[in-house]
A and B are shown apart, each in its own frame.
Chain A
Amino acid sequence: MIHVSDLDKSFGQLHVLNNISLDIAPGEVIVIIGPSGSGKSTLLRCLNYLEVPDSGSIAIDGEILTLHTQDITRIRSKIGMVFQRFNLFPHMTVLENVIEGPLTVKKTARAEAVKKGEALLEKVGLADKRAARPSQLSGGQQQRVAIARALAMEPAIMLFDEPTSALDPELVGEVLVVMKALAKEGMTMVVVTHEMGFAREVADRVLFIDEGQILEEGSPEEFFRAPKNERAQAFLSKIL
């Protein structure tokens, strides 16, 4: 479903992604972990071309990403993205945030978009907040709205860029619950996170990235029990 080959990316002197190749199957839940600055967020952001790699290629459903506007907007509409800082649209209500994508991108009829939007808010447990502004919500609620907003496009893939890192500890759980439910439904997910519990419980495969390279990958059982790579061992001993 996602095919990444020989991805390279530098920011000035900094070599953030170093020859990364990766295949992700439909329905797979991939958790990417690694120290900060390791390139994991950049890799994720390359998958929908928010970050354009210097070389290498990414194919989604067999279609190679380019910057051609029509192609990239169509592909992006199939890939939901959830950001660390939520990035909800502050000038819109919760419901307007959720239906904005279908209305503007898919030209869905308003009544239909509203109906689906309300169902999604129900799903993330925020039906009663439809008329609220993002600024009136807690971080956890905002992130759940952001997930609903991404799901409103009916994506085939969901990308999560440290979705709980900006949250107070007591709000992390409610977001993880939504993500777990999504994984259970068979959504293809790529998640950059520091939530090792989530990785252990939900991931089909864990990737450990450092200095722009995938240093280790495997099932969560293998990875957490006995990481082979030295840096992965050091990282885990610090974080667990």
Chain B
Amino acid sequence: MGLDLDLAYIIRVLPLLLKGAVTTVELAVLAIIFGTLIGLVIALAKIAPYPLLNILGRIYTWVFRGIPLLVQLIFIYYALPAVGIEFTSFQAAVIGMSLCGGAYIAEIIRSGILSIDKGQMEAALSLGMTYAQAMRRVIIPQTYRRLIPPMGNEFISLTKDTALVSSIAMTELLRQAQLRAAADFKPMEMYFAAAVLYLVLTTFFTLVFSKLESKLALID
């Protein structure tokens, strides 16, 4: 037994793994950007004073939060081509992760908006603002600082969830490790290195977000 890692081997394949890690970060960043846009729209739909929008928002969350991300990814990549909708694995990965991330981010944004004192909306409306102006100028800007911690969590979740897209032929970090591990019969080295790289990524992002949080705290 004994754990003797072939360090020289790890160093040799590291560039390959790093390439996978870059794809992982790209995916996570795109997913958080599109997910945030989707999340904002869904959050606004859910709290808007229009019942129809409320229902549409709830249906969105119900579907995309209720179906496992892995199933959504496989559906987008392997099932949609059957009805003529084809995506590259990268596109499918970004779409799937954004849609799913959007459902969670919508809840984050919604609770952020609901945490703002209702006197703020009243003051904005009493000046003659429309509901949309009040949201844009008064309510949403006040949520930014409160959104940073949960959005940081969500971003780290998304970073980890990118491992799921290895199942749709996307060669990100985990897939890269799988391929090499099988080819070289070095599962311990490859998966150990991959695990450490994930940890490095999530640690890095954790630090970035806590920095951002303290910076915004200073402004207020």
Q: Are A81 and B130 in contact (CB under 8 A)?
A: no
| Neighbouring A residues of B123 by C-beta, 8 Å | 81, 83, 87-89, 146
A135-161 residues at the B interface, CB under 8 angstroms: 146, 149-150, 153
**Chain B: which residue is nearest A70 at the CB level?**
B130
| Neighbouring A residues of B86 by C-beta, 8 Å | none
A83-B119, A85-B119 given as contacts; is B126 within 8 A of A90 (CB)? no
Q: Are B122 and A76 in contact (CB under 8 A)?
A: no
Tell me which of A69, A91, A149 contacts B141 (CB under 8 A).
A91
Tell me which of A48, A85, A104 contacts B137 (CB under 8 A).
A104
Give the shortest distance, in Å, between B208 (CB) and chain A (any CB).
23
A79 at the interface (CB under 8 A from B): yes
Q: Are B128 and A100 in contact (CB under 8 A)?
A: no
A44-89 residues at the B interface, CB under 8 angstroms: 48, 50, 69, 73-74, 76-81, 83, 85, 87-89
Q: How many residues of B contact A (CB 8 A)?
A: 19
Q: Are B129 and A104 in contact (CB under 8 A)?
A: yes
| Neighbouring B residues of A48 by C-beta, 8 Å | 126
B127-169 residues at the A interface, CB under 8 angstroms: 127-131, 133, 137-138, 141-142
Q: Are A81 and B137 in contact (CB under 8 A)?
A: no
A105 at the interface (CB under 8 A from B): yes
Give the shortest distance, in Å, between B134 (CB) and chain A (any CB).
9
Q: Are A87 and B127 in contact (CB under 8 A)?
A: no
Interfacial residues, chain B to chain A (CB-CB below 8 A): 117, 119-120, 122-131, 133, 137-138, 141-142, 220
**Chain A: which residue is nearest B127 at the CB level?**
A101
A87-B123, A104-B133, A105-B133 given as contacts; is B128 within 8 A of A73 (CB)? yes
| Neighbouring A residues of B131 by C-beta, 8 Å | 69
**Chain B: which residue is nearest A149 at the CB level?**
B127
Q: Are B127 and A100 in contact (CB under 8 A)?
A: yes
| Neighbouring A residues of B130 by C-beta, 8 Å | 69, 73
In the complex, what distance in Å separates the CA atom of A122 from the CA atom of B126? 23
| Neighbouring B residues of A85 by C-beta, 8 Å | 117, 119
Q: Are B129 and A87 in contact (CB under 8 A)?
A: no
| Neighbouring A residues of B119 by C-beta, 8 Å | 83, 85, 87
Q: Are A50 and B125 in contact (CB under 8 A)?
A: yes
Q: Are B127 and A83 in contact (CB under 8 A)?
A: no
Give the shortest distance, in Å, between A237 (CB) and chain B (any CB).
33
Q: Are A77 and B128 in contact (CB under 8 A)?
A: yes
A104-B137, A105-B133 given as contacts; is B128 within 8 A of A81 (CB)? no
Q: Are B138 and A76 in contact (CB under 8 A)?
A: no
Q: Are B126 and A81 in contact (CB under 8 A)?
A: yes
Tell me which of A69, A90, A91, A153 contacts B127 (CB under 8 A).
A153
A85-B119, A89-B120, A90-B142 given as contacts; is B126 within 8 A of A50 (CB)? yes
Q: Are A153 and B137 in contact (CB under 8 A)?
A: no
**Chain A: which residue is nearest B219 at the CB level?**
A91
Q: Can you list 19 residue pairs at the A/B interface with Cβ under 8 Å?
A: A48-B126, A50-B126, A69-B130, A69-B131, A73-B129, A73-B130, A76-B126, A77-B127, A85-B119, A89-B123, A89-B138, A89-B142, A91-B141, A100-B138, A101-B128, A104-B133, A104-B137, A105-B129, A153-B127
**Chain B: which residue is nearest A73 at the CB level?**
B128
Tell me which of A79, A83, A106, A149 contacts B122 (CB under 8 A).
A83
With A73-B129, A78-B128, A105-B127 given, name 18 new contacts (CB 8 A): A73-B130, A74-B128, A77-B127, A85-B119, A87-B122, A87-B123, A90-B142, A91-B220, A100-B127, A100-B138, A101-B128, A101-B129, A104-B127, A104-B129, A146-B123, A150-B126, A150-B127, A153-B128
In the complex, what distance in Å separates the CA atom of A85 from the CA atom of B126? 14
In the complex, what distance in Å separates the CA atom of A83 from the CA atom of B133? 20
**Chain B: which residue is nearest A80 at the CB level?**
B126
Tell me which of A50, A81, A91, A153 contacts B142 (CB under 8 A).
A91
